[in-house]
A and B are shown apart, each in its own frame.
Chain A
Amino acid sequence: MPAFLAVILTAMITDNFVLSKFMGICPFLGVSKKLKSAVGMGIAVIFVMICSTLATYPFYHYILVPLGIDFLYNVGFILIIAIFVQLVEIILKKISPELHKLLGVYLPLITTNCAVLGVCIINVDNGLSFVDSILNSLGAGLGFTIALIVFSGVRGRIEHNDIPDAFKGIPSTLVAAAIMVIGFMGFSGMI
Protein backbone atom coordinates (compact mmCIF):
# COMPACT_ATOMS: atom_id res chain seq x y z
CA MET A 1 0.00 0.00 0.00
CA PRO A 2 1.39 3.44 -0.88
CA ALA A 3 2.66 5.28 2.18
CA PHE A 4 0.34 8.26 1.79
CA LEU A 5 -2.71 6.01 1.67
CA ALA A 6 -1.56 4.23 4.83
CA VAL A 7 -1.30 7.54 6.69
CA ILE A 8 -4.79 8.59 5.64
CA LEU A 9 -6.40 5.22 6.33
CA THR A 10 -4.76 4.90 9.74
CA ALA A 11 -6.02 8.29 10.85
CA MET A 12 -9.40 7.67 9.28
CA ILE A 13 -10.30 4.16 10.37
CA THR A 14 -7.96 2.30 12.72
CA ASP A 15 -7.09 5.34 14.84
CA ASN A 16 -10.42 7.05 14.29
CA PHE A 17 -10.39 10.31 16.24
CA VAL A 18 -13.86 10.00 17.65
CA LEU A 19 -14.12 6.28 18.20
CA SER A 20 -10.69 5.34 19.45
CA LYS A 21 -9.12 8.63 20.58
CA PHE A 22 -12.29 10.20 22.02
CA MET A 23 -11.70 13.61 20.51
CA GLY A 24 -14.63 15.66 19.32
CA ILE A 25 -17.18 13.80 21.43
CA CYS A 26 -19.33 16.91 21.98
CA PRO A 27 -20.19 17.43 18.29
CA PHE A 28 -20.36 13.65 17.87
CA LEU A 29 -23.18 13.50 20.42
CA GLY A 30 -24.65 16.92 19.72
CA VAL A 31 -24.73 17.25 15.93
CA SER A 32 -25.28 13.65 14.86
CA LYS A 33 -29.05 13.71 15.08
CA LYS A 34 -29.66 14.43 11.42
CA LEU A 35 -27.70 13.31 8.40
CA LYS A 36 -27.63 16.79 6.91
CA SER A 37 -26.09 18.47 9.92
CA ALA A 38 -23.66 15.57 10.33
CA VAL A 39 -22.38 16.11 6.79
CA GLY A 40 -22.15 19.89 7.23
CA MET A 41 -20.25 19.59 10.50
CA GLY A 42 -17.96 16.96 8.99
CA ILE A 43 -17.02 19.07 5.98
CA ALA A 44 -16.43 22.11 8.18
CA VAL A 45 -14.14 20.09 10.45
CA ILE A 46 -12.12 18.65 7.54
CA PHE A 47 -11.71 22.18 6.17
CA VAL A 48 -10.61 23.72 9.47
CA MET A 49 -8.33 20.79 10.34
CA ILE A 50 -6.39 21.08 7.08
CA CYS A 51 -6.22 24.87 7.21
CA SER A 52 -5.07 24.96 10.83
CA THR A 53 -2.43 22.33 10.10
CA LEU A 54 -1.23 24.51 7.24
CA ALA A 55 -0.90 27.38 9.71
CA THR A 56 0.37 25.63 12.85
CA TYR A 57 3.09 23.53 11.19
CA PRO A 58 5.17 26.52 9.95
CA PHE A 59 4.33 28.43 13.14
CA TYR A 60 5.83 25.66 15.27
CA HIS A 61 8.85 24.79 13.13
CA TYR A 62 9.85 28.25 11.90
CA ILE A 63 8.84 30.51 14.79
CA LEU A 64 8.58 28.63 18.10
CA VAL A 65 11.49 26.21 17.67
CA PRO A 66 14.10 28.78 16.48
CA LEU A 67 13.11 31.08 19.36
CA GLY A 68 13.39 28.22 21.85
CA ILE A 69 9.85 28.66 23.16
CA ASP A 70 8.37 25.49 21.74
CA PHE A 71 6.80 24.67 25.13
CA LEU A 72 4.32 27.45 24.46
CA TYR A 73 2.82 25.58 21.51
CA ASN A 74 -0.46 25.02 23.34
CA VAL A 75 -1.14 28.74 23.78
CA GLY A 76 -0.02 29.51 20.24
CA PHE A 77 -2.02 26.77 18.56
CA ILE A 78 -5.31 27.53 20.26
CA LEU A 79 -4.93 31.21 19.43
CA ILE A 80 -4.15 30.37 15.80
CA ILE A 81 -7.16 28.09 15.57
CA ALA A 82 -9.45 30.68 17.18
CA ILE A 83 -8.23 33.43 14.84
CA PHE A 84 -8.34 31.08 11.91
CA VAL A 85 -11.92 30.00 12.42
CA GLN A 86 -12.96 33.66 12.51
CA LEU A 87 -10.91 34.41 9.42
CA VAL A 88 -12.30 31.47 7.47
CA GLU A 89 -15.79 32.61 8.34
CA ILE A 90 -15.18 36.17 7.16
CA ILE A 91 -13.47 35.08 3.94
CA LEU A 92 -16.11 32.50 3.13
CA LYS A 93 -18.85 35.06 3.63
CA LYS A 94 -17.13 37.36 1.13
CA ILE A 95 -16.07 35.00 -1.63
CA SER A 96 -18.54 32.13 -1.49
CA PRO A 97 -21.86 32.84 0.18
CA GLU A 98 -23.20 29.38 -0.74
CA LEU A 99 -20.35 27.58 0.99
CA HIS A 100 -20.72 29.95 3.93
CA LYS A 101 -24.37 29.11 4.17
CA LEU A 102 -23.49 25.42 4.22
CA LEU A 103 -20.63 25.56 6.74
CA GLY A 104 -21.13 28.89 8.46
CA VAL A 105 -23.30 27.72 11.31
CA TYR A 106 -20.82 25.02 12.30
CA LEU A 107 -17.68 27.13 12.26
CA PRO A 108 -17.93 28.85 15.67
CA LEU A 109 -18.41 25.49 17.36
CA ILE A 110 -15.13 24.24 15.99
CA THR A 111 -12.86 26.52 18.02
CA THR A 112 -13.48 24.40 21.10
CA ASN A 113 -13.56 21.10 19.24
CA CYS A 114 -10.71 19.16 20.77
CA ALA A 115 -10.17 17.13 17.60
CA VAL A 116 -8.78 20.19 15.81
CA LEU A 117 -6.30 21.14 18.53
CA GLY A 118 -5.61 17.44 19.02
CA VAL A 119 -4.62 16.79 15.42
CA CYS A 120 -2.28 19.81 15.36
CA ILE A 121 -0.55 18.68 18.57
CA ILE A 122 -0.31 15.05 17.46
CA ASN A 123 1.28 16.13 14.16
CA VAL A 124 3.94 18.06 16.05
CA ASP A 125 4.42 15.46 18.80
CA ASN A 126 4.99 12.64 16.33
CA GLY A 127 7.42 14.74 14.30
CA LEU A 128 5.52 14.22 11.04
CA SER A 129 6.72 15.95 7.88
CA PHE A 130 4.67 18.75 6.36
CA VAL A 131 3.03 16.51 3.76
CA ASP A 132 2.35 13.74 6.26
CA SER A 133 0.83 16.27 8.66
CA ILE A 134 -1.62 17.41 6.04
CA LEU A 135 -2.49 13.83 5.07
CA ASN A 136 -2.94 12.95 8.73
CA SER A 137 -5.29 15.92 9.20
CA LEU A 138 -7.23 14.95 6.11
CA GLY A 139 -7.58 11.39 7.38
CA ALA A 140 -8.61 12.55 10.83
CA GLY A 141 -11.24 14.87 9.36
CA LEU A 142 -12.57 12.14 7.07
CA GLY A 143 -12.70 9.74 10.01
CA PHE A 144 -14.64 12.27 12.07
CA THR A 145 -17.09 12.75 9.20
CA ILE A 146 -17.55 9.01 8.70
CA ALA A 147 -18.21 8.47 12.41
CA LEU A 148 -20.77 11.30 12.44
CA ILE A 149 -22.56 10.09 9.31
CA VAL A 150 -22.72 6.44 10.36
CA PHE A 151 -23.86 7.41 13.83
CA SER A 152 -26.58 9.71 12.56
CA GLY A 153 -28.05 6.64 10.84
CA VAL A 154 -27.86 4.61 14.04
CA ARG A 155 -29.49 7.37 16.08
CA GLY A 156 -32.31 7.75 13.61
CA ARG A 157 -33.16 4.12 14.31
CA ILE A 158 -32.99 4.16 18.11
CA GLU A 159 -34.72 7.49 18.67
CA HIS A 160 -38.23 6.17 18.09
CA ASN A 161 -37.86 2.83 19.83
CA ASP A 162 -39.31 1.83 23.14
CA ILE A 163 -36.33 2.09 25.47
CA PRO A 164 -36.41 2.16 29.30
CA ASP A 165 -37.01 5.65 30.68
CA ALA A 166 -33.67 5.82 32.43
CA PHE A 167 -31.84 5.14 29.19
CA LYS A 168 -33.69 7.67 27.06
CA GLY A 169 -31.50 10.32 25.51
CA ILE A 170 -27.80 10.37 26.20
CA PRO A 171 -27.37 6.98 27.95
CA SER A 172 -28.85 5.01 25.03
CA THR A 173 -26.77 7.10 22.62
CA LEU A 174 -23.59 6.26 24.52
CA VAL A 175 -24.38 2.56 24.64
CA ALA A 176 -25.09 2.60 20.89
CA ALA A 177 -21.76 4.35 20.37
CA ALA A 178 -20.06 1.61 22.40
CA ILE A 179 -21.47 -1.02 20.06
CA MET A 180 -20.31 0.97 17.06
CA VAL A 181 -16.81 1.22 18.53
CA ILE A 182 -16.73 -2.57 18.88
CA GLY A 183 -17.52 -2.72 15.16
CA PHE A 184 -14.64 -0.36 14.38
CA MET A 185 -12.29 -2.48 16.52
CA GLY A 186 -12.55 -5.06 13.74
CA PHE A 187 -10.47 -2.79 11.52
CA SER A 188 -7.61 -2.63 14.00
CA GLY A 189 -5.40 -5.28 12.42
CA MET A 190 -5.98 -4.00 8.92
CA ILE A 191 -3.05 -1.65 8.40
Chain B
Amino acid sequence: MSTKPETITNAKQNSPDYFYEFIKGIIKENPTLVGLLGMCPTLAVTATVKGSLGMGLSTMFVLICSNLLISLIKNLIPKSVRLPAYIVIIAGFVTIVKLVLARFLPPVSELLGVYLDLITVNCIILGRAEMFASKNKPLASVLDGAGMGIGFTLALFLMGTLREIIGAGSWFGLDIPFITNPVTLIARPAGGFFTLGIIIALVGVITNKKPKMEAGCANCPSKDNCPTAEKGEDK
Protein backbone atom coordinates (compact mmCIF):
# COMPACT_ATOMS: atom_id res chain seq x y z
CA MET B 1 0.00 0.00 0.00
CA SER B 2 2.96 2.28 -0.58
CA THR B 3 2.03 3.89 -3.89
CA LYS B 4 -1.43 4.64 -5.12
CA PRO B 5 -1.34 3.19 -8.65
CA GLU B 6 -0.24 -0.17 -7.32
CA THR B 7 -3.14 -0.30 -4.95
CA ILE B 8 -5.61 0.39 -7.69
CA THR B 9 -4.26 -2.29 -10.01
CA ASN B 10 -4.28 -4.79 -7.16
CA ALA B 11 -7.85 -3.96 -6.40
CA LYS B 12 -8.88 -4.51 -9.96
CA GLN B 13 -7.57 -8.04 -9.90
CA ASN B 14 -8.99 -9.04 -6.58
CA SER B 15 -11.96 -7.72 -4.69
CA PRO B 16 -11.33 -7.30 -0.95
CA ASP B 17 -8.92 -4.38 -0.94
CA TYR B 18 -10.29 -2.12 1.74
CA PHE B 19 -8.17 0.87 0.82
CA TYR B 20 -9.47 0.78 -2.75
CA GLU B 21 -13.09 0.40 -1.63
CA PHE B 22 -12.64 3.54 0.42
CA ILE B 23 -10.69 5.65 -2.04
CA LYS B 24 -12.64 4.87 -5.22
CA GLY B 25 -15.72 6.90 -4.31
CA ILE B 26 -13.80 10.07 -3.64
CA ILE B 27 -12.56 10.87 -7.13
CA LYS B 28 -12.45 7.94 -9.53
CA GLU B 29 -16.10 6.92 -9.13
CA ASN B 30 -17.37 10.13 -7.59
CA PRO B 31 -21.11 9.50 -7.35
CA THR B 32 -22.15 13.01 -8.36
CA LEU B 33 -19.62 14.28 -10.86
CA VAL B 34 -18.74 10.99 -12.55
CA GLY B 35 -21.73 8.77 -11.78
CA LEU B 36 -24.27 11.59 -12.29
CA LEU B 37 -26.40 10.34 -9.39
CA GLY B 38 -28.12 12.34 -6.68
CA MET B 39 -28.68 15.38 -8.86
CA CYS B 40 -31.60 16.79 -6.88
CA PRO B 41 -29.72 17.68 -3.66
CA THR B 42 -26.66 18.67 -5.66
CA LEU B 43 -28.71 21.40 -7.30
CA ALA B 44 -31.11 22.26 -4.52
CA VAL B 45 -29.06 22.94 -1.39
CA THR B 46 -25.75 24.17 -2.79
CA ALA B 47 -26.52 27.90 -2.86
CA THR B 48 -24.51 28.17 0.37
CA VAL B 49 -21.52 26.27 1.75
CA LYS B 50 -23.38 25.65 5.01
CA GLY B 51 -26.26 23.92 3.24
CA SER B 52 -23.87 21.89 1.10
CA LEU B 53 -21.90 20.60 4.07
CA GLY B 54 -25.05 19.88 6.07
CA MET B 55 -26.54 17.88 3.24
CA GLY B 56 -23.25 16.12 2.41
CA LEU B 57 -22.55 15.00 5.96
CA SER B 58 -26.16 13.95 6.64
CA THR B 59 -26.17 11.87 3.48
CA MET B 60 -22.81 10.36 4.40
CA PHE B 61 -24.12 9.31 7.80
CA VAL B 62 -27.20 7.70 6.30
CA LEU B 63 -25.09 6.03 3.61
CA ILE B 64 -22.63 4.49 6.09
CA CYS B 65 -25.36 3.29 8.46
CA SER B 66 -27.60 1.85 5.76
CA ASN B 67 -24.66 0.14 4.04
CA LEU B 68 -23.62 -1.45 7.36
CA LEU B 69 -27.10 -2.59 8.31
CA ILE B 70 -27.97 -3.90 4.86
CA SER B 71 -24.75 -5.86 4.51
CA LEU B 72 -25.33 -7.35 7.97
CA ILE B 73 -28.87 -8.53 7.24
CA LYS B 74 -28.56 -9.10 3.50
CA ASN B 75 -29.23 -12.83 3.84
CA LEU B 76 -32.40 -12.32 5.87
CA ILE B 77 -34.18 -10.18 3.28
CA PRO B 78 -36.10 -12.14 0.63
CA LYS B 79 -34.91 -11.16 -2.82
CA SER B 80 -38.32 -10.13 -4.12
CA VAL B 81 -38.97 -7.48 -1.45
CA ARG B 82 -35.43 -6.23 -1.05
CA LEU B 83 -35.94 -2.79 -2.61
CA PRO B 84 -38.85 -1.77 -0.34
CA ALA B 85 -36.91 -3.19 2.61
CA TYR B 86 -33.83 -1.11 1.73
CA ILE B 87 -35.94 2.02 1.31
CA VAL B 88 -37.54 1.55 4.72
CA ILE B 89 -34.14 1.02 6.36
CA ILE B 90 -32.85 4.18 4.69
CA ALA B 91 -35.96 6.16 5.68
CA GLY B 92 -35.42 5.08 9.28
CA PHE B 93 -31.88 6.48 9.35
CA VAL B 94 -33.08 9.65 7.64
CA THR B 95 -35.61 10.12 10.43
CA ILE B 96 -32.81 9.73 13.00
CA VAL B 97 -30.69 12.37 11.24
CA LYS B 98 -33.67 14.70 10.98
CA LEU B 99 -34.53 14.44 14.67
CA VAL B 100 -30.89 14.88 15.75
CA LEU B 101 -30.38 17.92 13.51
CA ALA B 102 -33.67 19.49 14.62
CA ARG B 103 -32.55 19.17 18.24
CA PHE B 104 -28.88 20.14 18.04
CA LEU B 105 -28.49 22.22 14.85
CA PRO B 106 -31.84 23.92 14.22
CA PRO B 107 -30.45 26.46 11.69
CA VAL B 108 -29.11 23.69 9.43
CA SER B 109 -32.31 21.73 9.82
CA GLU B 110 -34.36 24.76 8.76
CA LEU B 111 -32.04 25.54 5.86
CA LEU B 112 -32.32 22.04 4.41
CA GLY B 113 -36.05 21.73 5.08
CA VAL B 114 -37.84 19.16 2.98
CA TYR B 115 -34.60 18.14 1.24
CA LEU B 116 -33.52 16.47 4.46
CA ASP B 117 -36.49 14.11 4.14
CA LEU B 118 -35.70 13.58 0.50
CA ILE B 119 -32.35 11.94 1.36
CA THR B 120 -34.57 8.84 1.51
CA VAL B 121 -34.96 8.83 -2.25
CA ASN B 122 -31.38 9.84 -3.07
CA CYS B 123 -30.32 7.39 -5.78
CA ILE B 124 -26.76 7.20 -4.42
CA ILE B 125 -27.85 5.50 -1.20
CA LEU B 126 -30.22 3.02 -2.80
CA GLY B 127 -27.64 2.47 -5.52
CA ARG B 128 -24.84 1.57 -3.09
CA ALA B 129 -27.22 -0.66 -1.14
CA GLU B 130 -28.20 -2.55 -4.25
CA MET B 131 -24.83 -2.64 -6.00
CA PHE B 132 -22.42 -2.94 -3.10
CA ALA B 133 -23.79 -3.56 0.38
CA SER B 134 -26.03 -6.42 -0.68
CA LYS B 135 -23.04 -8.31 -2.08
CA ASN B 136 -20.17 -7.45 0.26
CA LYS B 137 -19.00 -7.86 3.84
CA PRO B 138 -19.85 -5.25 6.51
CA LEU B 139 -16.40 -3.65 6.79
CA ALA B 140 -16.02 -3.21 3.04
CA SER B 141 -19.55 -1.80 2.87
CA VAL B 142 -18.84 0.75 5.59
CA LEU B 143 -15.66 1.86 3.82
CA ASP B 144 -17.49 2.04 0.51
CA GLY B 145 -20.22 4.14 2.13
CA ALA B 146 -17.65 6.43 3.75
CA GLY B 147 -15.76 6.91 0.48
CA MET B 148 -18.89 7.59 -1.54
CA GLY B 149 -20.16 9.90 1.19
CA ILE B 150 -16.92 11.87 1.18
CA GLY B 151 -17.02 12.08 -2.62
CA PHE B 152 -20.59 13.35 -2.50
CA THR B 153 -19.74 15.86 0.25
CA LEU B 154 -16.72 17.13 -1.68
CA ALA B 155 -18.77 17.60 -4.85
CA LEU B 156 -21.42 19.51 -2.91
CA PHE B 157 -18.76 21.53 -1.12
CA LEU B 158 -17.23 22.51 -4.46
CA MET B 159 -20.62 23.55 -5.83
CA GLY B 160 -21.46 25.44 -2.65
CA THR B 161 -18.11 27.25 -2.57
CA LEU B 162 -18.38 28.38 -6.18
CA ARG B 163 -22.02 29.41 -5.92
CA GLU B 164 -21.66 31.25 -2.64
CA ILE B 165 -18.50 33.14 -3.65
CA ILE B 166 -19.77 34.12 -7.10
CA GLY B 167 -23.44 34.44 -6.21
CA ALA B 168 -23.34 36.07 -2.80
CA GLY B 169 -19.79 37.35 -2.40
CA SER B 170 -19.27 35.41 0.79
CA TRP B 171 -17.92 32.06 1.97
CA PHE B 172 -19.49 30.13 4.82
CA GLY B 173 -21.40 33.28 5.74
CA LEU B 174 -18.22 35.40 5.91
CA ASP B 175 -18.15 38.36 3.54
CA ILE B 176 -15.33 38.49 1.04
CA PRO B 177 -14.35 42.16 0.95
CA PHE B 178 -13.25 42.71 -2.66
CA ILE B 179 -16.34 41.22 -4.33
CA THR B 180 -18.72 44.14 -4.53
CA ASN B 181 -21.08 43.04 -7.28
CA PRO B 182 -21.97 39.38 -6.80
CA VAL B 183 -23.77 37.69 -9.70
CA THR B 184 -26.91 36.82 -7.76
CA LEU B 185 -28.19 34.65 -10.60
CA ILE B 186 -25.61 31.99 -9.68
CA ALA B 187 -27.14 31.65 -6.21
CA ARG B 188 -30.63 31.32 -7.72
CA PRO B 189 -32.00 28.03 -9.15
CA ALA B 190 -30.76 28.81 -12.67
CA GLY B 191 -27.20 29.13 -11.37
CA GLY B 192 -27.38 25.63 -9.91
CA PHE B 193 -27.94 24.05 -13.30
CA PHE B 194 -25.34 26.30 -14.89
CA THR B 195 -22.60 25.66 -12.32
CA LEU B 196 -23.17 21.91 -12.32
CA GLY B 197 -23.05 21.81 -16.13
CA ILE B 198 -19.71 23.65 -16.17
CA ILE B 199 -18.23 21.48 -13.39
CA ILE B 200 -19.22 18.22 -15.09
CA ALA B 201 -17.75 19.47 -18.37
CA LEU B 202 -14.50 20.39 -16.57
CA VAL B 203 -14.32 17.02 -14.82
CA GLY B 204 -14.76 15.39 -18.22
CA VAL B 205 -11.85 17.41 -19.63
CA ILE B 206 -9.58 16.85 -16.63
CA THR B 207 -10.13 13.11 -16.44
CA ASN B 208 -9.78 13.02 -20.22
CA LYS B 209 -12.86 10.96 -20.54
CA LYS B 210 -15.73 11.42 -22.89
CA PRO B 211 -18.62 12.62 -20.77
CA LYS B 212 -21.45 10.18 -20.55
CA MET B 213 -24.22 10.91 -22.97
CA GLU B 214 -27.02 9.94 -20.67
CA ALA B 215 -28.22 10.40 -17.18
CA GLY B 216 -31.08 8.25 -16.03
CA CYS B 217 -31.30 4.70 -17.22
CA ALA B 218 -27.70 4.15 -18.27
CA ASN B 219 -26.33 4.81 -14.79
CA CYS B 220 -29.43 3.98 -12.81
CA PRO B 221 -28.56 1.62 -9.96
CA SER B 222 -31.75 -0.38 -10.30
CA LYS B 223 -31.75 -0.78 -14.05
CA ASP B 224 -31.39 -4.55 -13.77
CA ASN B 225 -34.79 -4.90 -12.16
CA CYS B 226 -36.40 -2.03 -13.99
CA PRO B 227 -38.58 -2.93 -16.94
CA THR B 228 -38.22 0.60 -18.29
CA ALA B 229 -34.47 0.73 -18.56
CA GLU B 230 -33.54 1.73 -22.11
CA LYS B 231 -36.45 -0.17 -23.66
CA GLY B 232 -39.02 2.43 -22.64
CA GLU B 233 -37.46 5.25 -24.55
CA ASP B 234 -36.67 3.48 -27.76
CA LYS B 235 -40.16 2.25 -28.35
Contacts and interface: CB of A to CB of B under 8 A. Distances in A.
Contacts of B220: 26, 30
B94 A106 contact: no
Contacts of A37: 232-233
A169 B211 contact: yes
Contacts of B233: 31, 33-34, 37
A182 interface: yes
B135 interface: no
A112 interface: yes
Interface residues of A, number: 54
A122 to B, nearest CB: 6
Interface string A114-148: 10011001100100000000000000000000000
Contact of A118 (B84, B114, B189, B204): B114
Interface string A140-183: 00000000000000000000000001111111111101110110
A26 B227 contact: no
Contact of A168 (B91, B120, B211): B211
B215 A26 contact: yes
B1 interface: no
A22 B43 contact: yes
A140 to B, nearest CB: 12
Contacts of A169: 211-214
A171 B197 contact: yes
B91 A108 contact: no
B189 to A, nearest CB: 5
A78 B88 contact: yes
B114 A122 contact: yes
Interface in A81-124: 82-83, 104-106, 108-109, 111-114, 117-118, 121-122
Nearest to B221: A112
Contacts of B83: 82, 111
Given A25-B40, A117-B117, A175 B211 contact: no
A5 interface: no
B117 A74 contact: yes
Interface centre among A33, A117, A174, A181 (most CB of B within 10 A): A174
Interface centre among B121, B202, B216 (most CB of A within 10 A): B121
A128 to B, nearest CB: 14
Contacts of B222: 112
A171 B200 contact: yes
Interface centre among A24, A29, A74 (most CB of B within 10 A): A74
Contacts of B87: 78-79, 82, 111-112
Contacts of B111: none
A114 B198 contact: no
B193 A26 contact: no
B215 A170 contact: yes
10 contacts: A30-B220, A33-B233, A74-B94, A74-B117, A78-B121, A83-B84, A105-B235, A165-B210, A170-B211, A171-B204
Interface of A: 19-27, 29-31, 33-34, 37, 71-72, 74-75, 78-79, 82-83, 104-106, 108-109, 111-114, 117-118, 121-122, 125, 165-175, 177-179, 181-182, 185
Given A30-B216, A166-B211, 12 more contacts: A26-B215, A106-B232, A112-B121, A112-B123, A114-B118, A118-B117, A169-B213, A170-B36, A170-B213, A171-B200, A171-B211, A177-B197
A-B pairs with lowest CB-CB distance, top 9: A30-B216, A174-B197, A178-B193, A171-B201, A22-B44, A178-B194, A181-B190, A105-B232, A25-B39
